[in-house]
């Protein structure tokens, strides 16, 4: 029987990292940014599972759209362009002891899916 590689990661650690990247690099309402730019920055992030391809992040971007952090404004083949809905704030969640990043329009709920505390 072949050994299978199993990798475990927190269910939403990518989305938490993408939130931080948007906060630090693209936190302007009129700024356009795309998934390739985010992916390049993610690859420089410690803790990022380097075996992940940009296609693996599709569901994470979808989640951030559903959460109301970003909206997709254009798509050119696999490149998807986004804008934030509103400024992104850094908030400390005392329940999971984590700095999280939340758009001003979003529900005041910790985006760490292991936490989901009211902020
Ligand atoms: Zn939390």
Give distance in angstroms: CA of 20 to centre of ligand 1: 14
Give distance in angstroms: CA of 52 to centre of ligand 1: 25
**Sign of the CA dihedral with 63 first, then 104, 115, and 51 last:** positive
Query: Model-level pTM?
Result: 0.88
Give distance in angstroms: CA of 97 to centre of ligand 1: 7
Q: How many other β-carbons are positioned within 10 Å of the β-carbon of residue 67?
A: 18
pLDDT digits (tens, 9 = 90+) for 81-103: 999 999 999 999 999 999 999 99
Report the distance separating Cα 105 and Cα 84, nearest Å. 10
Report the distance separating Cα 75 and Cα 65, nearest Å. 14
Residue 100: name the closest of 108, 86, 111 by CA. Answer: 111
Give distance in angstroms: CA of 25 to centre of ligand 1: 22
pLDDT digits (tens, 9 = 90+) for 51-73: 999 999 999 999 999 999 999 99
Give distance in angstroms: CA of 115 to centre of ligand 1: 5
Residue 107 contacts residue 70 (beta carbons within 8 Å): no
Give distance in angstroms: CA of 111 to centre of ligand 1: 7
């Amino acid at each position: 029987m072949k050994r299978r590689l199993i990798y475990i990661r927190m269910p939403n650690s990518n989305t938490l990292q993408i939130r931080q990247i948007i906060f630090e690099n693209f936190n302007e309402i009129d700024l356009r940014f795309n998934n390739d730019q985010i992916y390049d920055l993610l690859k420089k992030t410690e803790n990022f599972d380097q075996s992940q391809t940009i296609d693996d992040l599709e569901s994470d971007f979808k989640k951030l759209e559903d959460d109301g952090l970003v909206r997709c404004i254009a798509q050119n083949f696999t490149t998807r362009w986004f804008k934030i809905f509103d400024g992104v704030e850094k908030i400390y969640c005392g329940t999971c002891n984590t700095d999280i990043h939340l758009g001003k329009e979003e529900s005041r709920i910790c985006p760490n899916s292991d936490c989901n505390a009211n902020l």
